[in-house]
């Protein structure tokens, strides 16, 4: 294959992955946008505010968690900036959001991958709450101290005022386009780079090194590419790479779920981590626990989930209840 054909093949794989991903991103983005014009999210945040004391956080922090989990991580960050929390509380809230955010969109992508999306949704919430409770007791002194922002000021991050059908439609289109073109550029670039790496024999060497690490928590060599892509680019921007590579290598349902489990708890390690460090969170506590928890939970699931016999290939695997 000539160099031009290699580049063209990579670009086409990127466009195809983008189109598949937009079939998920578009509808989910629309639903979440509509919800923000209703009182649903604000009411849910108010109802969950009393639970924040278990994490050593003020009640207003519930709005950051609700926004981060339903809209996206950046919406949660917007609420965090208004809270003006001390370092310890900011670190706890950051870890909780990094473990569980963009649940609506990312769960839809996990479904597209063929992973056990319901299991991942539950695991992310549970691990986020446990980590928040543990770090809250370890780092926060004087639990429940209020932030400087009032709940009324934070409410504007949760609920949008409806400006009319025309302006609302324009805001929706602009927001979706902003996400879509970035995804397209990233996916075309990534897949073109992968095709070139495959052409010159670099991809195989890279995956071999990745497998030396991932095999310890149950991943096969073929699972290395989606694992690497999700860790570098995140679930949303790396979603197309994840979907394409899992299908190209025909990963089993068990392997898909294991890859998705690790990435659900620890993805976008560079960009997301850097943002929270700039905000003032502690680098060690927002990085090391996530990686440890991701390895531990993935390893546990690798011992629980079992492969179907060859005769039942393609069938959905079950959770083995035997000891």
Residue 323 falls within a domain, yes or no? no
Under DSSP, the state recorded for 217 is G
Residues near 224 by beta carbon (within 8 Å), at least 6 away in sequence: 207, 210, 211, 214
Which tokens go with 124? 């992310």
- The better pLDDT of the pair 278, 153 is held by 278
pLDDT over 70 for what percent of the chain?
Answer: 88
At 310, the pLDDT band (50, 70, 90 cuts) reads very low
Residue 114 falls within a domain, yes or no? yes
pLDDT tens digit string along 18-57? 887 778 778 877 877 787 788 877 777 778 888 898 999 8
CA separation for the pair 129, 99 (Å, rounded): 9
Distance of CA 115 to the CA centre of its chain: 14
At 317, the pLDDT band (50, 70, 90 cuts) reads very low
pLDDT tens digit string along 180-223? 887 788 778 877 887 887 788 777 788 888 888 899 988 888 88
In the prediction, which pLDDT does 136 show? 92
Residue 314 falls within a domain, yes or no? no
In the prediction, which pLDDT does 145 show? 45
| Total number of domains constituting the chain | 1
Residue 321 falls within a domain, yes or no? no
Check pLDDT > 60 for residue 309: no
CA separation for the pair 115, 259 (Å, rounded): 9
pTM score, two decimals?
A: 0.75
pLDDT tens digit string along 65-74? 988 898 888 7
In the prediction, which pLDDT does 31 show? 79
CA separation for the pair 42, 153 (Å, rounded): 12
CA separation for the pair 169, 152 (Å, rounded): 26
In the prediction, which pLDDT does 149 show? 47
In the prediction, which pLDDT does 155 show? 58
CA separation for the pair 59, 143 (Å, rounded): 11
138, with CB counted inside 10 A (0-12, 13-18, 19+), is exposed
Residue 195 falls within a domain, yes or no? yes
User: Element (H or E) spanning 35, and its range?
Assistant: helix 3-35
Residue 319 falls within a domain, yes or no? no
Which sign, positive or negative, has the C-alpha torsion 263, 269, 275, 276? Answer: positive
Domain that holds residue 255: 3-308
Residue 122 falls within a domain, yes or no? yes
Residue 124 and residue 88 in contact, taking contact as beta carbons nearer than 8 Å: no
- The better pLDDT of the pair 232, 95 is held by 95
Check pLDDT > 80 for residue 306: no
Residue 214 falls within a domain, yes or no? yes
At 158, the pLDDT band (50, 70, 90 cuts) reads low
In the prediction, which pLDDT does 34 show? 82
Check pLDDT > 60 for residue 322: no
Check pLDDT > 70 for residue 1: no
Check pLDDT > 50 for residue 144: no
pLDDT tens digit string along 269-305? 877 888 888 888 999 999 999 999 999 999 999 998 8
Least confident stretch, 123-132, 214-223, 241-250: 241-250
């Amino acid at each position: 294959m000539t160099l031009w054909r290699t580049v063209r093949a990579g670009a086409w794989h990127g466009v195809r992955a983008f189109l598949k991903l937009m079939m998920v991103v578009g509808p989910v983005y629309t639903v979440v946008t509509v919800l923000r014009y209703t009182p649903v999210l604000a009411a849910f945040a108010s109802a969950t505010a009393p639970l924040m004391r278990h994490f050593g956080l003020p009640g207003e922090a519930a709005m950051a968690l609700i926004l981060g989990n339903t809209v996206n991580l950046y919406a949660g960050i917007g609420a965090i900036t208004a809270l003006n929390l001390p370092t310890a509380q900011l670190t706890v809230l950051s870890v909780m959001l990094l473990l569980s955010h963009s649940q609506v969109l990312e769960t839809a992508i996990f479904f597209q991958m063929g992973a056990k999306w319901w299991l991942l949704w539950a695991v992310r919430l549970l691990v986020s709450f446990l980590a928040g409770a543990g770090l809250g007791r370890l780092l926060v002194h004087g639990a429940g101290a209020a932030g400087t922002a009032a709940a009324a000021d934070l409410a504007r991050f949760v609920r949008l005022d409806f400006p009319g059908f025309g302006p609302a439609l324009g805001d929706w289109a602009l927001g979706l386009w902003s996400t879509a073109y970035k995804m397209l550029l990233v996916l075309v670039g990534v897949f073109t780079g992968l095709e070139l790496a495959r052409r010159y024999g670099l991809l195989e060497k890279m995956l071999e090194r990745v497998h030396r690490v991932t095999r310890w928590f149950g991943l096969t060599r073929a699972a290395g590419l989606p694992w690497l892509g999700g860790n570098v680019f995140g679930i949303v921007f790396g979603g197309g790479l994840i979907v394409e590579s899992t299908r190209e290598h025909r990963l089993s349902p068990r392997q898909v779920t294991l890859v998705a489990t690790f990435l659900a708890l620890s993805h976008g390690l560079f960009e997301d981590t850097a943002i929270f460090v700039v905000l003032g969170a502690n680098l060690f506590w927002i990085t090391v626990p996530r990686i440890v928890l991701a390895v531990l939970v993935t390893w546990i699931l690798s011992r629980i989930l079992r492969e179907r016999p060859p005769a039942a290939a393609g069938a959905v695997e079950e959770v083995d209840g035997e000891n």
